[in-house]
Structure 1
Amino acid sequence: MDQLTCLPQEHVVWGRDILAHVAASLGDYSITRPITFTVSFLEGLHGEYLLPNMTDSAGIFTDLPPHVPDFAVQAGLRACLASRAESIVALGGGSVLDAAKAVSAQHFRETGRYLPIAALPTTLSGSEFSHYFGVTETSGTRKFKRSYAVRETVPKLVAIDPQLIAGTPRELLLSSAIKGIDHAVEGMRRVGIDHPHAILAARGVERFLDVLERWPKGLETRAAIEQDLISFDDLLQLQLAAWQCYFYPASVIYGLSHRIGHILGGTFGLPHSMTSCVTLAPVIRACAGTYGDKLGIFGKDAGHASAANTLADRIERAIEALELPSRLRAFDLPREVLPEVAAMLMQHYPDEVADLGDAPEPKLAALLEGLW
């Protein structure tokens, strides 16, 4: 039996130059007395577009390190309680969005009330459309990023404006697009080609690659726009692609590429957006038997081996052309930790490792060695 599970996301608005209007009308979306979660790099964006137009701001909180460490969640909760915030505006990438969700969930545990979230995403992973978030536990002998799924934390409002990503650093922006493609592909694990996820994800991947495959080399986004090499409409196409790739997150279960990324990021500190650049294409090939012919929806090849290889090849070519890292050695990750990564994957994510097929443990070791 197929099924479609929807989240309680109430509004998604998109377009050019909408940020000031959205900030002025937050109350219309039940976002009242919001505290803004963001990072220092984005304070200028906040000051230019949001703060002058927000009528009842409860302040700003910027102490949000990558991978959402547990102590940052507690600090964010204290800031919300101290400011008497009634909601959160999350201005940033996946870590900012995850922190907002984690704080909203913790606020419910403390007070019995979730804090509604308005998401203004500055990257392309699509976290703003989901109820998933990760929190890195820091008290053990090894840090571990634990995943949660809390429906009530999905942002009530998402605002998409290309101005949000025009200033995002090149590597972060482009690697987060690969993370968005990862959502589309791994979302196929437990659905068929007639599922709405599959149909939208296929369009989202094509929309992503149509822009990424003509992206100029060596330029930050604003410089590329000034030289007429890309346009604000191209940026909006990327943002809409991220949405299509992650349109029904409650209906899909993600796989080994994501789980390797959680270990590499939460435990070993690799940039979260970069991990899919390393893991996605090799995992597609390694798990082709599990996905079967379904990956053909992302191209014209029939048969699981050719479909998987065609898709993986295209993703790898895009990563290379975008000058993004594709091997773990680029991050100075010691090769000696690979057995520990494998052990953590076997312990915490056995179902995803099982996608490798029979005798998955040696296949996992070989896969990780290949990633290095």
Structure 2
Amino acid sequence: MKPFTYNALPARVVFGWGTSAQVKDELQRLGCSRALVLTTPQQSEAGEKIKAILGDLAVGIYSNATMHTPINVTQEALARAKELNVDCCVSVGGGSTIGLGKALALHSADGDAKIKNIVIPTTYAGSEATPIIGQTENDKDGKPLKTTQKTLKVLPEVILYDIDLTLSLPPKMTVTSGLNAIAHAVEALWAVEANPITSSLAVQGIEAIGRSIPLISKDPSSRDGRSDALFGAWACGTCLGAVGMALHHKLCHTLGGSFGMPHAETHTVILPHAVAYNAPFAEVAVATVARALGVDNAAQGLFDLAKDNGAPYSLKELGFKEEDLERAADIAAKAPYPNPAPLEKAKILQLLTNAFHGTRPE
């Protein structure tokens, strides 16, 4: 066994069917009494249900969580939280809502009292299990730029995984959300900080989501499929929180923050090509991914998992402009970061070009 370092993350996880009904007990367990429920506009109804469960412990609902966590939205929500004297937020939804809850925790930590965070995920993004936050604001030229940071300040105190709340997630969104989660585990396997604990979780996460996607595509109400997918989301998200990420996540943050591309769909499209890019320099990790998926070629297996289950597999179909490929490659190649394969702009541009056209990796 090689030497390794592993930092366990302090978070309480409650997993099962109908667990969102326990939100009031969890809030009181934290010693909180003034909760602000967070959602996107599309999930305000789900937020109202949680607000009803909380009863007089809920002081309001903010339903403007936005993809890529724009700073202006955070500032608006933070002002609302201060106005209501909030001591805890309950984030109900996917990555956009969870990101907003993390942002409130981060920015309130610089003030009088940190706003605690209970998260009730309704997708498989896995962000709830990480101490990582991505935020978007305009750069000096007025163009949107997404930056990330890692701090325990944003790690939720409690995660309530309620499988019932994922049953309504459409199959297509299930696939993209699931592959987004798998991306965390894949990069954890070749991370500089890789260790036996996160690698074991990574394999479990890839296996669980890999077998769940076809089940859910065939039957969206599949109990086995939904429970496996949500467990896989936690496992993969925990990997993301414990180790550093590489080229795949850098590209997705570039495409999302600077070009407004949808988060999960972009991860779905880029992942097979990022795996192919790194394969010659991360043979053991890539072979592990292939075994977990039950395929011979990891990059092709990930591509087929998306395409065969109705998910997007090209940047072109997501609305990305071909003339922006050069600038995206330039941004991704600028700042140095750990990655198994050398970071070369020409090769990154070829990766993005293949992803743009939806070319199956070789």
Which digits, 9 at most, give the CA deviation of each residue in 1:280-312, with x for residues without a partner?
A: 0111011113323123323449xxxxx996122
Instruction: Report SS of the residue matched to 1:351.
Output: coil
Aligned to 1:43: 44
**Partner Cα distance (1:38, 1:96) in 2:** 5
Alignment of 1:183-262 (within 5 A): 183-190=184-191, 195-216=196-217, 224-225=219-220, 230-262=221-253
Partners of 2:31 and 2:300 in 1: CA distance: 45
Could you tell me which residue of structure 1 aligns to residue 66 of structure 2?
Answer: 65
Aligned Cα root-mean-square deviation (Å): 2.2
AA in 2 matched with 1:125:
A
Contact 2:256-2:262 at 8 Å conserved across structures: yes
Whether 1:269 and 2:260 are equivalent positions in the alignment is: yes
- The residue aligned with 1:123 is 123
Distance 1:31 1:208, change over 3 A: farther
8 A contact 2:190–2:282 mirrored in 1 = yes
5+ long unaligned stretches in structure 1 = 218-223, 302-306
- From 323, 337, 340, the equivalent of 1:351 is 337
Would you say 1:332 and 2:319 are equivalent positions? yes
Q: Is 1:365 aligned to residue 349 of structure 2?
A: yes
What is the identity, as a one-letter code, of the residue corresponding to 1:254? M
Structure 1 317/346 Cα, relative in aligned 2: closer, same or farther at 3 Å?
same
Structure 1 residue runs of 4+, over 6 Å off?
none
1:148-186 C-alpha deviation (Å, 9 max, x unpaired): 111122001000111222223443332111010000001
Q: After superposition, what is the alpha-carbon deviation per residue over 1:70-113, rounded to whole angstroms, capped at 9, x for unaligned?
A: 101111110110010001111111111111111211112232x2
**Matched AA of 2:312:** P
Question: How far apart in 2 are the matches of 1:331 and 1:61?
Answer: 29
Go from structure 1 to structure 2 and tell me whether the alpha carbon gap of 1:91 and 1:24 turns closer, same or farther (over 3 Å shift).
Answer: same
Question: Deviation string for 1:204-243 (max 9, x for gaps)?
Answer: 11111111133336xxxxxx45xxxx42342121100111
Is the contact between residue 216 and residue 225 of structure 2 (CA under 8 Å) also seen in structure 1? no
The answer (yes or no) to whether the contact 1:184–1:202 under 8 Å persists in 2 is yes
1:251-301 C-alpha deviation (Å, 9 max, x unpaired):
311111111111111111111011111110111011113323123323449
- CA distance in 2: counterparts of 1:308 and 1:132, whole angstroms: 31
Equivalent position to 2:10, from 4, 8, 11? 8
Q: Does 1:320 align with 2:307?
A: yes
Aligned to 2:138: 138
Match of 1:304 in 2: none
Q: Residue type of the partner of 2:127?
A: S
Contact 1:193-1:199 at 8 Å conserved across structures: no
Instruction: Determine if contact 1:319/1:326 at 8 Å carries over to the other structure.
Output: yes
> Are the structure 2 counterparts of residues 370 and 198 from structure 1 closer, same or farther at C-alpha, using a change threshold of 3 Å?
same
Q: Distance in 2 between matches of 1:176 and 1:78?
A: 31
Q: TM-score normalized by structure 1?
A: 0.88
Per-residue CA deviation, residues 1-41 of structure 1 (Å, 9 max, x unaligned), is: 410012221x1001112222333442124443111111122
- Structure 2, unmatched stretches of 5+, are 357-362
Structure 1 residues 50, 321: closer, same or farther in 2, change over 3 A? Answer: farther
Contact 1:257-1:283 within 8 A present in 2 as well: yes
State the distance in 2 between where 1:252 and 1:308 align: 26
Counterpart CA distance in 1 for 2:26 and 2:237 is 26
- Residue 367 to residue 299, structure 1, CA distance change in 2 (3 Å): closer
